[in-house]
Structure 1
Amino acid sequence: MKTMKTMKTFVMIFILSTFMLNGQSKKGMDTKENYPTTYNTIDVDGLDIFYREAGPKNAPTLILLHGYPTSSHMFRNLIKDLSSEYHLIAPDYPGYGRSEQPAMKDFDYTFENMSIVIEKLLVKLNIERYSLYLMDYGAPIGYRIFEKHPERVQSFIVQNGNAYEEGLKAFWNPLRTYWNDYTVANGKPLEGFHALEGLKWQYTHGVKDISKISPDNWHIDLQHLSRPENNEIQLAMFYDYRTNVSLYPKWQKLFRKYQPPTLIVWGKNDIIFPADGAYPYKRDLKNVEFHLLDTGHFALEEKGEDIANYISKFLKKHVKK
């Protein structure tokens, strides 16, 4: 009996010692500091603008510009994945997410105005040098900022963000009709994109495993899309998108002139902004890292870890504080 007790004691000591050593080993390997996300609201020209922020402020800064019809919520996981290495800012545009929604009589809902608000936000936050994550609506907003201040932009990360006519396929025909004939009748079919089923479709079309896509996404989007007058705001933005297309040649000329290092991480199954719009970047930019991912429009939902890894390696290579 004494021998058995001695053996049991020895086994317990061995197990505890091994557990403690393994814990110390893992702790020693994990040298990255965890930075929590903070949730902030700041006054920009009389508007309450919400933004998420994480990471050390002395690290290279990455500005995360969200698409339609969502908000900075789309970057929640990417922020966690990158916050130990980079300073991240993800704002909500006026009328989206948790930012203020001014009445349409008081604010012109255009891509130019959105870019002005984000530019002024960066000034208020004393951010002078940064990389831009450009997705969907975030692309024309970011490229407008780049157009005004190319010297401030250190690199692009482009994820299903268009700057070429080749990227506007048949999906855009109803919007072209709206641009050419700005009527209530032509706008009505477009309202389905920000109805519940339209939102769900945008998140799930082209993904490989729908079970990995959280329904929280489209229900959270509905919180701002259901506000009074927001439907009209979205239609105004749809109509104003035509102004982006006319600027494509100008932006392409700036790409050729300034040559920002560019990472393309594109959901290749997206029919809103298909991969046809990804390839032309190679025409104008010499320093391009190019990845087509087997997923849909909101690529971060299914390929977020892959994208985070690509970004981390890319920024380490090309961007210094």
Structure 2
Amino acid sequence: MKTKTIKPVLGILLLAILSLGIFAFNAPKEKKVINIAKVKTEPTYHKTIKINGVDIFYREAGNVNKPTIVLLHGYPTSSHMFRNLITDLSVRYHVLAPDYPGYGRSEQPAMRDFEYTFDNMSKIIEGFLEVKNVKKYSLYLMDYGAPIGFRIAAKYPKRIESLIIQNGNAYDEGLRDFWIPIKKYWNDYTIANGKALEGFHSPDGLKWQYTHGVQDVSKISPDNWNLDLQHLKRAENDKIQLAMFYDYRTNVPLYPKWQKYFRDYQPATLIVWGKNDYIFPAEGAHPYKRDLKNVETHLLDTGHFALEEKGDEIANYIIKFLKKNNIK
């Protein structure tokens, strides 16, 4: 082959090689595929234990040798509200979520045999923690869980590692328009005033509690209120709910005591609050800053049951907060 012929051929080959190199350099890199099967998760166990003569259903997950988080649910639901949060937290923590008597899958004693009061509910949870041999723990307090948990925290302040408060009240500022008919019931304890409150645990009332103030109703599973109805439809349960509505009046005089507990013991506190909640509006979230020095507040653009729409966000806030406070 003549030299004049070889040079053009070599030039073409060199250009081709360079082009291939440039293509290889700029070619989109193959995405790394995560094998979900290898991501470690902890199973949730569903158990029943007898506390003060009552069968209490609870969910438990995570290593018992890790710090414990106790999740206390609100009205009118059960530990079901924590089903996803339990999974998210149990990789790093030991998690317990009991149902109160008359709620969820716990036993519902007859009203003649059991006092449906916040004092008695707190004694059930206190007994539950004793039987489970939990000496130190963080409390996640939502709705009814707040007055139940604050009773325990104020009684055993040195057992509390932190507080996580989600739409749970301890200040007068947090009892606004929603509470007007309930306060009327407190002040005038009649059948008629009680009857006016039954709509809160009707199917429409339950759906409203889950969907009011959320950004996307389609993200809220109807299973929530349908499951709640299973315990609310039990014989005598409507009277139990009215008894709890009436007894809520006993929480308000304890607010100063709980606020003193905050000031005296300064528990590390995370507030994750659905700011569009009509039941416990954001006005109830702000006053905690008056009494707590180590408090972190996040107002979330959702409603009363904030976990339904902002569960991942709340779980991340909790994990970061506990890590920051060396609860790990």
TM-score of the two chains, using structure 2 as the length reference: 0.89
**Mapped pair 1:217 → 2:224:** yes
Distance 1:256 1:289 in 2: 15
User: Separation in 1 of the partners of 2:38 and 2:263?
Assistant: 39
Q: CA deviation at 1:249?
A: 0.7
SS in 2 for 1:248: helix
1:279 is matched with 286
Measured in 1, the distance between the counterparts of 2:150 and 2:171 equals 12
Provide the rounded CA distance (Å) in 1 between the counterparts of 2:225 and 2:258. 32
Counterpart of 1:135 (choices 139, 142, 145) is: 142
Q: Report % sequence identity.
A: 71
* Superposed displacement of residue 102, structure 1: 0.2
Could you say which residue in structure 1 is the equivalent of 2:87?
A: 80
TM-score (structure 1 length as normaliser): 0.91
Q: Is residue 67 of structure 2 the alignment partner of residue 60 of structure 1?
A: yes
Question: In structure 2, the residue corresponding to 1:57 is in which secondary structure?
Answer: coil
- When residues 192 and 30 of structure 1 are mapped into structure 2, their CA distance, relative to the original with a 3 A threshold, is same
CA shift in 2, pair 1:31/1:310, >3 Å: farther
- The CA distance in 2 between the partners of 1:313 and 1:126, in whole Å, is 26
Name the counterpart of 1:169.
176
Measured after TM superposition, the shift of residue 22 of structure 1 is 4.0
SS at match of 1:264: strand
Partner of 2:238: 231
1:153 Cα deviation from its structure 2 partner: 0.5
1:113 matched to 2:120? The reply is: yes
User: In structure 1, the residue corresponding to 2:251 is in which secondary structure?
Assistant: helix
1:30: Cα distance to partner? 9.4
Q: Secondary structure at the match of 1:88?
A: strand
Q: Could you tell me which of 190, 204, 214 is aligned with 2:197?
A: 190
Residues in 2 aligned to 1:88 and 1:158: alpha-carbon distance in whole angstroms: 16
For residues 36-86 of structure 1, the C-alpha deviation after alignment (integer angstroms, 9 at most, x for no partner) is 000000011111000000011111100000000000000001011111001
What's the CA shift for 1:319?
4.1
Shift, 1:33, TM fit: 2.8
1:302 aligns with one of 309, 312, 316:
309
Residue of structure 2 equivalent to 1:90: 97
Distance 1:31 1:197 in 2: 42
Q: Give the drift of 1:207.
A: 0.1
Q: Which residue of 2 aligns with 1:35?
A: 42
User: Contact (CA 8 Å) 1:64, 1:132: kept in 2 or not?
Assistant: yes
Q: Give the Cα separation in 2 of the matches to 1:128 and 1:227.
A: 35
What is the rounded CA distance, in whole Å, between the counterparts of 1:255 and 1:162 in structure 2?
13
**Cα deviation per residue 1:187-214 (whole Å; 9 max; x = unaligned)?**
0010000000000000000000000000
d(CA) in 2 for partners of 1:245 and 1:90? 25
Give CA-to-partner distance per residue, 1:150-203, whole Å, 9 cap, x none: 000110000000000000011101011000011101100100000000000000
Measured in 2, the distance between the counterparts of 1:65 and 1:320 equals 19
Q: Are 1:154 and 1:319, in contact at CA under 8 Å, matched by a contact in 2?
A: no
Q: Which runs of 5+ in 2 are unaligned?
A: 1-28
Residues 114-156 of structure 1 deviation map (CA, whole Å, 9 limit, x = unaligned): 0000000000001000000000000000000011100001100
**Which of 252, 255, 268 is equivalent to 2:259?**
252
Deviations for 1:275-294, whole angstroms, at most 9, x for unmatched residues? 00000000000001110000
Q: Per the alignment, do residues 320 and 146 of structure 1 end up closer, same or farther by CA in structure 2, a change over 3 Å counting?
A: same
Which one-letter code corresponds to 1:199 in the other structure? L
Quick one: distance in 1 between partners of 2:66 and 2:99? 22
What corresponds to 2:161 in structure 1? 154
What code does the residue aligned with 2:188 have? D
8 Å Cα contact 1:268-1:295 kept in structure 2: yes
CA 135–204 in structure 1, closer or farther in 2 if over 3 Å, else same: same
Shift of 1:32: 6.0
Q: Distance in 1 between matches of 2:326 and 2:159?
A: 12
| 2:40 partner SS | coil
SS in 2 for 1:146: helix
Partner of 1:14: none
Give the Cα–Cα distance (whole angstroms) in 1 for the partners of residues 141 and 184 of structure 2. 26
Aligned residues: 300
**Which structure has the greater CA radius of gyration?**
2
1:125 — aligned with what?
132
